[in-house]
């Protein structure tokens, strides 16, 4: 089965780093990722610069990256102000974002779930009028750092409301990386009754080391679209305890060896991660990256 990969490192990864990278470094990181041949790269977020200073140069990054025709360059957009900025920056796709937990949503975007969906109504219709595809995130789809376990029915409800607005795709976020395969199966069992499987993307964080197991479980249930970040960077500043996204290197390795067909090239992703690791001044969290560094070439075939 073909699997679509959305690289979220430049957005989800960099939003959670205490070290704010220079615009030039971000541009080099995105350009290095482009070389790897992704279907989509989430480049930045047009959110409040006071809330997320790490991404306040979103316009400049979009202006300076070298775009490849086969890659969609997307960004988070929380409201109409964000959409105006995104349109000026000529984004290829936008992502609106809400949650299945009221408390998390309030901390993240200062609105209830219902208010955030109302906010998206004009944003989604304007984007679609401009032929810009729209993703809708449902965060805290399994566990919330404030409310604990989230009922799958709540996730289905929010996903359906987003689809009614007209979004093309739903990304289901395990924001704090606490889900296990049985919970993934329980949610997908319910979600797939209401949402076409080709509209669902899974977005796993890897706090407790279960992200790859969750990816493989989703794949076995027919899901063919995943978010990941080069070197496993990532986390949400408004979700205490959120660690990195599943590392793209680990995702490519596990899915390719399971028989899936993926576009991004492992070696080129590793090269982009090398660049990021030296810019952040710390090692990155990917088991495959660690295993392949210094391994003889015969051991490197994914």
Question: Which residues belong to the active site?
Answer: 236
Q: In the structure encoding, which two tokens stand for residue 18, read together?
A: 């205490």
- CB nearer to ligand HMG: pick between 85 and 93: 85
Among 30, 41, 43, 45, binds ligand HMG (CB under 6 A): 45
* Residues of this chain, 84-103, that bind ligand HMG according to CB under 6 A: 85, 97
Q: In the structure encoding, which two tokens stand for residue 112, read together?
A: 């209830």
- CB nearer to Mg ion: pick between 179 and 292: 179
The gap from C-alpha 93 to its chain's centroid, in whole angstroms, comes to: 13
* Residues of this chain, 211-250, that bind ligand HMG according to CB under 6 A: 236, 238
- CB nearer to Mg ion: pick between 26 and 205: 205
Cβ atoms of residues 132 and 91 within 8 Å: yes
Q: Could you say which of ligand HMG, Mg ion, none residue 13 binds, taking C-beta under 5 to 8 angstroms by partner kind?
A: none
Site size with ligand HMG, rule: CB under 6 A:
27
* Separation of alpha carbons 163 and 160, rounded Å: 5
Residue with tokens 């360059």: 73
**Site for ligand HMG contains 142 (CB under 6 A):** no
Beta strands in 183-224 (DSSP E): 200-204
Q: In the structure encoding, which two tokens stand for residue 10, read together?
A: 């430049």
Q: In the structure encoding, which two tokens stand for residue 46, read together?
A: 């047009």
* Separation of alpha carbons 185 and 194, rounded Å: 15
Among 98, 108, 207, 228, binds ligand HMG (CB under 6 A): 108
Among 3, 21, 27, 47, binds ligand HMG (CB under 6 A): 47
Mapping DSSP to helix (H, G, I), strand (E, B) and coil, where does residue 261 land? strand
* Separation of alpha carbons 144 and 178, rounded Å: 9
- CB nearer to ligand HMG: pick between 72 and 109: 109
Interface residues with ligand HMG (CB under 6 A)? Answer: 12, 15, 45-49, 51-52, 76, 78-79, 81-82, 85, 97, 108-110, 137, 139, 173, 175, 203, 205, 236, 238
């Amino acid at each position: 089965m073909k699997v679509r990969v959305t690289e979220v490192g430049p957005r989800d990864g960099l939003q959670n780093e205490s070290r704010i990278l220079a615009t030039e470094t971000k541009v080099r990181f995105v350009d290095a990722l482009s070389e790897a041949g992704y279907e989509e790269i989430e480049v930045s977020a047009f959110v409040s610069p006071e809330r997320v200073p790490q991404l306040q140069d979103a316009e400049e990054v979009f202006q300076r990256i070298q775009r490849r025709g086969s890659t969609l360059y997307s960004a988070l957009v929380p409201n109409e102000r964000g959409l105006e900025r995104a349109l000026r920056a000529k984004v290829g796709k936008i992502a609106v974002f809400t949650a299945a937990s009221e408390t998390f949503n309030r901390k993240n975007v200062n609105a209830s779930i219902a208010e955030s969906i109302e906010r998206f109504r004009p944003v989604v219709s304007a984007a679609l009028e401009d032929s810009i595809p729209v993703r809708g995130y449902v965060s805290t789809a399994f566990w919330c750092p404030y409310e604990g376990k989230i009922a799958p029915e709540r996730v289905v409800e929010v996903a359906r409301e987003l689809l009614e607005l007209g979004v093309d795709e739903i990304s289901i976020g395990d924001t704090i990386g606490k889900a296990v395969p049985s919970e993934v199966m329980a949610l997908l069992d319910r979600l797939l009754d209401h949402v076409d499987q080709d509209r669902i993307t899974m977005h796993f964080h890897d706090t407790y080391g279960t992200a790859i197991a969750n990816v493989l479980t989703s794949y076995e249930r027919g899901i063919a679209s995943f978010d990941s970040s080069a070197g496993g960077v990532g986390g949400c500043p408004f979700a205490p305890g959120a660690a990195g996204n599943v590392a793209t290197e680990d995702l490519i390795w596990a899915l390719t060896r399971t028989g899936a067909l993926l576009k991004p090239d492992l070696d080129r992703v590793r090269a982009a991660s090398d660049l990021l690791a030296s810019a952040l001044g710390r090692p990155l969290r990917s088991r495959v990256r660690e295993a392949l560094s210094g391994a003889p070439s015969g051991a490197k075939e994914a």
